[in-house]
């Protein structure tokens, strides 16, 4: 077996392991009474419910967020940077596009995002491997 084949096999094994770990995590997490599971597979927990309007996919949202893997590894955090981030809501991962539309401005939700609503089987970074389930705490500050 050549190097390319060996790397492809290693990626496939890691992808399958990540997918299984995420499925097991989401199945158990979905049993918690404070977690809502949507038809898409997105799970969310309301940490703080705001009273403002909700964004649409055409809006640019400004939010603070803290992203981790299911094992607690932090892969990105505007909170740690001390600077909120702004994104066009229709240009982010599907889990964000779907989830943030549920949030009145001023809310803070925790999203549990399965791979098909995140980055799928792509290797995104040193932390985010193929088929990783992602967890985001998101505070919706504003949108325009």
Catalytic site includes residue 76: yes
Q: Can you point out the beta strands (E) in 92-133?
A: 108-113
**Assigned token pair, 86:** 């702004």
d(CA 18, CA 105): 33
Among the options 53, 70, 75, 121, which is catalytic? 75
Among the options 119, 128, 135, 137, which is catalytic? 119
Among the options 65, 111, 112, 143, which is catalytic? 65
Among the options 53, 76, 121, 141, which is catalytic? 76
d(CA 48, CA 68): 19
Catalytic site includes residue 87: no
Among the options 25, 44, 87, 93, which is catalytic? 93
Among the options 25, 111, 112, 136, which is catalytic? 136
Alpha carbon distances (Å) from 59 to 5, 89, 90, 97: 43, 6, 8, 10
Catalytic site includes residue 75: yes
Q: Are 132 and 18 in contact (CB under 8 A)?
A: yes
d(CA 15, CA 89): 27
Catalytic residues: 65, 75-76, 93, 119, 136
């Amino acid at each position: 077996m050549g190097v390319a084949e060996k790397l492809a096999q290693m990626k496939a094994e890691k992808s399958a392991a990540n997918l299984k770990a995420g499925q097991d995590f989401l199945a158990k997490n979905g049993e918690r009474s404070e977690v809502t599971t949507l038809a898409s597979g997105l799970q969310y927990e309301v940490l703080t419910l705001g009273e403002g309007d909700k964004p649409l996919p055409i809006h640019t949202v400004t939010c603070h967020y803290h992203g981790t893997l299911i094992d607690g590894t932090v892969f990105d955090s505007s909170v740690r940077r001390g600077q909120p981030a702004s994104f066009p809501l229709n240009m982010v991962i599907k889990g964000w596009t779907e989830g943030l539309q549920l949030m009145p401005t001023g809310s803070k939700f925790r999203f549990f995002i399965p791979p098909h609503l995140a980055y799928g089987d792509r290797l995104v970074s040193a932390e985010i491997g193929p088929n990783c389930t992602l967890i985001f705490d998101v505070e919706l500050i504003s949108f325009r």
